[in-house]
Structure 1
Amino acid sequence: MRLRTVLATVTAGLAAATTLTAAGPATAASSTSGHACSPSVSLAGFSDALDKTAYEGTFVGNFSALAVDGNGQLVAVSDRSALFTLGAKTLKTLAPTGVVPLADENGAALDSEGLVVDRDGTRLISSETEPSVRRYSRDGKILDRLPVPDALKVAPAGRATANQTFEGLTLLPGGRTLLAAMENSISGDGTGVVRFQTWDRHKGTFQLAAQYGYRIDTGLGVSEVTATPDGRLLVLERGFTAGVGNTVRLYLADPRPATDTGDEATLTGQDGVRLVGKTLLADLVNCPSLGATAKQPQPNPLLDNIEGLTITGSAQGRLNVLLVSDDNQNPAQTTRFYSLRVRLPQRLP
């Protein structure tokens, strides 16, 4: 998503921590013990190694989503219509090893925001322009395009606002259900209530399935959503206030008990519809800064315009999570990768 100003409430306070910084142009230091952002989340390290770099003539940045390929390689999509392979999925080994240009059916560039690597290696990529979800081969050829409900299309075709649509994309465990998260509300719905759309796989294609409502925090929007191994969701909410900086919060959500809202013309959050429940895992303003510096005002110099999130490993309810910020190719912002350790509660309150 292009940088935009939205009102966001930011909380102050930094956790004391041992300094940890990027070490050199292609490596980063890491922590063996982690540093607490909250009782559930700790920061293992960060890297600015790829900030303002290029690969084979393509700017490395504008990252909106991350995924892990079946061969263990990290894949990142740029909202400037490019798909990068970044090597092994650790901070110390981040280095572009490939880039594939993306385009729509007419050869036009995409505002590509969400990314899923399917079990056969194809790439599912969402664009917030129409919005759309397309399937691409590894070399960037369009294989298919998924249907989208009329209400979620950008006005005048539907009720959505441009650049506020399919920001997050994830495949639920088992590989049968795909979920896309709208960044913000559509016209007619209550302020702060956004829709999550799903598709079920049927005979090799994805068909429209259930839809759910989710309430975002005031002034924030959904910037990413990723399924956990147990079928819940990590939801990244993000906002920006000029002169103050970014707010980034990580939530755990569970769509399974929620009402299917596909036939609901309007959602207010007070109409008897059961929304997706969520619980705060961490407000990243409370993470230790670990020696990070910011190029513009931030409540914590570690923060930037964080948009991408993927799970790189899990064991016994603990997840290794990688985040990335979208620098918008802006000198005042940074392409920064973050390594988190996340402990999931057994159930939502």
Structure 2
Amino acid sequence: MRSSLTRRVFAAALLLTASLSPAVALAAQPSDAERKSEQAAPARLLGEKIVPHKLDFLDTTVGGLSGIDRNRCTGEYVFISDDRSNLQPARFYTATLDVDADGVHSVEFTGTRPFLQPDGSVYPSPALADGKAVDPEEIRVDPRTCTYWWAQEGDRPTAAGAPVIQPSIQFAAPTGAHLGRLPLPPNYEVTTEERGPRRNQAIEAITFGSHGRVVTSAIEGPLLQDGPVPDLQHGALVRVTKQTRDGRVLGQFAYPIEKIFAESDPTSPWGPDTGVPSLLAFPDNPDRYLVLERTWVAGAGYKVRLYDATTRGATDVQARESLAGQAVVPMRKKLVADFDTLGLSTVDNTEGMTWGPRLPSGERSLILVSDDNFAEDAVTQIVALAVR
């Protein structure tokens, strides 16, 4: 006879079967009624600030800001740019943000440094890289040492003979000097076979938990062997991995991303793009995360949603070669915010988030940033939310 907990987990797993691709056995995609009944305490908008487009700062072009974190040692915030050394060398920025219960009052950049390779040189542009290019996406400040941990997606080339560039999580000093890297799970490796991360869908999300003892990362989209990407009918599963600071895997879990929210403009050459660009651990709960889901559809624009998710009760899938057709209990999640309902001036390519100051109401502020991709029709938007 199953215990009550086992019955609850089994029932939850059965509840989730309908909305994933047929290639995936189970998915955490509850009905609208179930999602409404399980909704977490909603976030509310405190304010926003738009950074001037292509702001010139210390002979660099500010843009492509795809990650943000707060440095407890300085009180400043650090942003990572996803410029792949096309405009200037791959780099990060520091800034002061004036954020309180009344909104985002100012954003003042205070410094910038390039990330350095182990030999002390900057990263070259992809055209000159010879396999040493990087695609910076996420940055976190080590809560123990205040050094920087940053993630880059690498590259699965589309042209024959082009070099494979592996994704990585690296450590850097505040000067940008290279300090090392975190060993990653084998299934994060880009291979020449139909396994591993898809192109431009590798590591975009890392976070520290358990007071710096645990590093959690997420692959942006489903691994090739785990099934197809989401479509209008089905979501998909992406892998979330907990590791120790020296790289030992503590567990790997399947997080369910939503199906595509609208049809694409049939005249566009670009298909939908969706995935997990950021996740953030709750300081007081080692199993609980805020997870950002960002989707772009040609003709419909961006859909950005924030979820409260947990690994508690989810299947550890680190030994599963493939999730396709496998019965797994995925991470449970509850909707915190749909950005379309927040009252923002625009909903853009939001990719980074971090905790801000605690508010007099007892809520925590959450600071998010959008990646403008250096495009004229996009914005660098700093958003502050209040979260219970």
Q: TM-score, normalised by structure 1?
A: 0.79
> Once structures 1 and 2 are overlaid, which stretch shifts more, 150-159 or 306-315?
150-159
Deviations 1:110-132 (A, max 9, x none): 21111110020110000011210
The code of the aligned residue for 2:242 comes to T
TM-aligned CA distance change 1:261 to 1:111, over 3 Å:
same
Match of 2:152? 127
- Looking at structure 2, the residues matched to 172 and 39 of structure 1 have their Cα atoms a distance apart, in angstroms, of 21
Higher helix share: 2
Residue in structure 2 matching 1:249, options 305, 318, 337 = 305
In the TM superposition, residue 164 of structure 1 has moved relative to its aligned partner by 0.3
In the TM superposition, residue 171 of structure 1 has moved relative to its aligned partner by 0.2
> Once structures 1 and 2 are overlaid, which stretch shifts more, 72-81 or 146-155?
146-155
Match of 1:329? 374
- Looking at structure 2, the residues matched to 337 and 137 of structure 1 have their Cα atoms a distance apart, in angstroms, of 25
- Equivalent residue runs for 1:238-277 within 5 Å: 238-268=294-324, 271-277=326-332
Is contact 1:104–1:110 with CA below 8 Å preserved after alignment? no
- Looking at structure 1, the residues matched to 117 and 279 of structure 2 have their Cα atoms a distance apart, in angstroms, of 23
Is contact 1:159–1:186 with CA below 8 Å preserved after alignment? yes
- 1:42 matched to 2:48? The reply is no
The code of the aligned residue for 1:127 comes to Q
Question: Which SS does the other structure have where 2:380 is aligned?
Answer: coil
Number of residue pairs matched by the alignment: 291
Question: Which SS does the other structure have where 1:151 is aligned?
Answer: helix
- Looking at structure 2, the residues matched to 230 and 266 of structure 1 have their Cα atoms a distance apart, in angstroms, of 32
The code of the aligned residue for 1:155 comes to T
In the TM superposition, residue 208 of structure 1 has moved relative to its aligned partner by 3.2
- 1:113 matched to 2:113? The reply is no
Question: Which of the two has higher C-alpha Rg?
Answer: 2
Match of 1:78? 81
Q: TM-score, normalised by structure 2?
A: 0.71
- Equivalent residue runs for 1:80-99 within 5 Å: 80=83, 81-88=90-97, 90=99, 91-99=104-112
In the TM superposition, residue 187 of structure 1 has moved relative to its aligned partner by 1.2
Deviations 1:182-206 (A, max 9, x none): 10001121341100122213xxx34
- Equivalent residue runs for 1:225-236 within 5 Å: 225-231=279-285, 232-236=288-292
Question: Which SS does the other structure have where 2:187 is aligned?
Answer: helix
Question: Which SS does the other structure have where 2:51 is aligned?
Answer: coil
Residue in structure 2 matching 1:182, options 199, 211, 219 = 219
- Equivalent residue runs for 1:52-67 within 5 Å: 52-67=54-69
> Once structures 1 and 2 are overlaid, which stretch shifts more, 62-71 or 259-268?
259-268
- Looking at structure 2, the residues matched to 200 and 258 of structure 1 have their Cα atoms a distance apart, in angstroms, of 19
Deviations 1:67-121 (A, max 9, x none): 0001211111111121100124533231110001114447435211111100201
Gaps of 5+ in 1: 1-37, 293-301, 344-349
- Looking at structure 1, the residues matched to 171 and 152 of structure 2 have their Cα atoms a distance apart, in angstroms, of 11
Residue in structure 2 matching 1:137, options 165, 173, 176 = 173
Instruction: Please give the root-mean-square deviation of Cα atoms over the aligned residues, in Å.
Output: 2.0
Is contact 1:43–1:288 with CA below 8 Å preserved after alignment? yes
The code of the aligned residue for 1:193 comes to L
- Equivalent residue runs for 1:143-158 within 5 Å: 143-156=179-192, 158=195
In the TM superposition, residue 307 of structure 1 has moved relative to its aligned partner by 0.5
Question: Which SS does the other structure have where 2:250 is aligned?
Answer: strand
Match of 1:19? none
The code of the aligned residue for 1:125 comes to W
TM-aligned CA distance change 1:45 to 1:88, over 3 Å:
closer
- Looking at structure 2, the residues matched to 339 and 248 of structure 1 have their Cα atoms a distance apart, in angstroms, of 14
- Looking at structure 2, the residues matched to 317 and 280 of structure 1 have their Cα atoms a distance apart, in angstroms, of 20
> Once structures 1 and 2 are overlaid, which stretch shifts more, 140-149 or 329-338?
140-149
Is contact 2:275–2:293 with CA below 8 Å preserved after alignment? yes
Is contact 1:68–1:89 with CA below 8 Å preserved after alignment? no
Match of 1:167? 204
The code of the aligned residue for 2:54 comes to K
- Write out the 4+ residue segments of structure 1 that deviate beyond 6 Å after TM superposition: none
Match of 1:283? 338
In the TM superposition, residue 271 of structure 1 has moved relative to its aligned partner by 3.0
- Looking at structure 2, the residues matched to 188 and 103 of structure 1 have their Cα atoms a distance apart, in angstroms, of 33
Is contact 1:155–1:161 with CA below 8 Å preserved after alignment? no
Match of 1:28? none
In the TM superposition, residue 39 of structure 1 has moved relative to its aligned partner by 5.9
Is contact 2:216–2:243 with CA below 8 Å preserved after alignment? yes
In the TM superposition, residue 313 of structure 1 has moved relative to its aligned partner by 2.8
Query: Quick one: percent identity of the two aligned structures?
Result: 32
